[in-house]
Structure 1
Amino acid sequence: MLRSYAQNNLNFTRMCFLVNCLKRFKSSQEWLTRQKADPYVEKAKFYNYRCRSAFKLIEINEKTKLLQPGQTVVDLGAAPGSWTQVAVAETNAAGADPARPRGAVLAVDKLQIFPIEGASIMSNIDLSTAEAADRVAAALGGRGVDVVLSDMAPSATGVRELDKDRIIGLCYMALRFAALVSKVNGSFLFKVWDGKEVPMLQMDLERFYERTKVLKPQASRSESSEKFILARGFKGIQRPLQNGRWG
């Protein structure tokens, strides 16, 4: 009987493995089909952006005038670097236009980011640790940040509620960082997945920012639940950091 039970359990495990493989294969095929039919993928290649997400930031910036020449910008979760490319162009961080103020862009990610002209790169940085946040702050050299960008998203588990909880956690991590480095009246743009947690997140943002707005750019796929929240008018922090640390 024990042998029969073990065999049945093994068969069930194999079946679950095969089902999951088929699901991943189907998901990969659907992704490839979308990529081939997606006009933004071709546009990204034509304009030399590292991925199609550049057009999400471009569209948001056209509507909001978020990025301006001379600004200091930090791009969190920057890999592979398309948002950083847009930020460099809009802030004149590479000095392409001598007639405009020259900005500064710092790109940060846990993953490797290949060099981008006009941007400072910090790869292999996990902002969930106080030490990493201190390193990023030190790299700014005491310069206040005008705009914090975050296109961060967790690796999908396939469990919808768990994935939403994980991206909300990333949003709060990015908010904490933004609150500690931003200039008064600075801005914060970040990605979120639609859900019941979003209104509460907006309420928390209002403690630090004068106004917030939810945006859904056309470059964001219609079937995707992703949205972007833009918070503007940073109020500043009311109390000093303890011992100069990020904790």
Structure 2
Amino acid sequence: MWNSVLQKSYLHTSVHLLKKAAHNLKGKSTADQRWIVRQLNDPFVKAAHVHNYRCRSAFKLLEIDDKYKLLKPGFNVIDCGAAPGAWSQIAVHRVNSTGANGEFPRGTVVGIDLLRIAPLDGAHFLSNHDITDPVTHAKLLELLPGAQAHVIMSDMAPNASGFKEMDHEKLITMSLSLIDLAEKVLQTGGSLICKYWDGALAHQLQQKLSAVFRDVRTVKPKASRKESSELFFLARSYRKNVMV
């Protein structure tokens, strides 16, 4: 599946992108030039253009969900750190939140980010909202049918400071806050997926997750660049009201 998708994407977009490359590189710093070249050569960037996904990260969620079947029609989903909205795009389709498929139940997708998120049919976006804020929690409870979610997902990350250990610690702290969110809105048996960067504190996050989820495992989708320390914890079968 993945090879066919990427091959089609390459054929449709490579010529167009390569024509733009020379112009895009003019006047750029060395670091910017490296980034542009990497983007131009990235098959997932090309595939995202073809499939009209807001960014390449859509393929991370697609691969994870294809394997573990987290998103089902009728499910309520919270997308944390949703901007620009690629994961929400996938969720909208898979939980049928637009109601486009009348044969299946209609789900709900709520995206949250400190940044503005452009509107997306089938999703409720809480732009300029903090997932740790009680005001945000109250709005979630209003938007989610039954005031509960089946899945919490997070591809959020702090702005890079250039200090690897500091950034790692910040992301772990952000991911730990998802456990507090789960206590408020995740239903028993629900799932959570969150990004983390490998490092000394990763085991603390894993231990906290394992205390309230029956199954916790590490996954690294093909769309996560090989050189990146990016990984995801996939936590399933939430045990509500367990003391952490």
Note if 1:153 corresponds to 2:151: no
Contact 2:79 2:154 in 1 (8 A): yes
Alpha-carbon separation, structure 1, partners of 2:71 and 2:104: 13
CA distance in 2, matches of 1:143, 1:220: 33
For residue 172 of structure 1, what is the aligned residue in structure 2? 176
Q: Aligned residue for 2:209?
A: 205
Contact 2:211 2:242 survives alignment (8 Å): no
The alpha carbon displacement at 1:32 in A equals 1.0
Amino acid across the alignment from 1:198 = A
One of 78, 93, 96 as aligned partner of 2:97: 93
Q: Which runs of 5+ in 1 are unaligned?
A: 1-23, 240-247
User: Aligned partners of 1:178, 1:25: CA distance in 2, in Å?
Assistant: 43
Mapped to 2, the partners of 1:28 and 1:101 lie a distance apart of 46
The answer on 1:63 being equivalent to 2:67 is yes
CA offsets 1:80-126 (integer angstroms, 9 cap, x no match): 00000000011111112111111111111111111111111111101
Shift in Å, 1:166: 0.6
- 1:187 matched to which residue of 2? 191
1:228 to 228, 232, 239: 232
In the other structure, the counterpart of 2:52 is 48
Answer with 161-170 or 175-184: which moved more. 175-184
Q: Residue 86 and residue 142 in structure 1: after superposition, are their counterparts in 2 closer, same or farther (change >3 A)?
A: same
| Residue of structure 1 in register with 2:13 after alignment | none
SS of the counterpart of 1:185?
strand
How many residue pairs align between the two structures? 216
Match of 2:123 among 104, 119, 140: 119
For 2:143, the equivalent position in structure 1 comes to: 139
Q: Partners in 2 of 1:181 and 1:128 — Cα distance? A: 13
The answer to whether the 8 Å contact 2:152/2:191 transfers is yes
1:231 corresponds to which letter in structure 2? Answer: A
More deviation, 138-147/79-88:
138-147
Task: Give CA deviations for 1:154-176 in whole Å, capped at 9, x if unaligned.
Answer: 00000011000110111011221
Post-superposition offset of 1:227: 0.4
Structure with bigger gyration radius: 1
Rounded Cα–Cα distance in structure 2 between residues aligned with 1:85 and 1:221 = 21
Question: Runs ≥4 in structure 1, deviation > 6 angstroms?
Answer: none
SS at match of 1:94: coil
Superimposed CA distance per residue, residues 112-161 of structure 1 (whole angstroms, 9 cap, x where no aligned partner): 11111111111110123333333333332542100001111000000011
Residue type of the partner of 2:80? L
Mapped partners of 1:167, 1:231: distance in 2: 17
SS at 1:158's partner residue? coil
Q: Distance between the aligned counterparts of 1:103 and 1:26, measured in 2?
A: 45
Between stretches 137-146 and 73-82, larger displacement belongs to: 137-146
Equivalent residues of 2:190, 2:237 under 8 A apart:
yes
Partner Cα distance (2:142, 2:76) in 1 = 14
- How many angstroms apart in 2 are the aligned matches of 1:148 and 1:26? 38
Task: Find the aligned partners of 2:74 and 2:146 in 1 and give their Cα distance.
Answer: 16
Among the aligned pairs, what percent are the same residue? 42
3-state SS of 1:222 partner: coil
User: What CA distance in whole angstroms lies between the structure 2 residues aligned with 1:32 and 1:93?
Assistant: 35
Query: What secondary structure, in the 3-state scheme, does the structure 2 residue paired with 1:207 have?
Result: helix
User: Any idea what SS the aligned residue of 1:170 has?
Assistant: helix
Gaps of 5+ in 2: 1-27
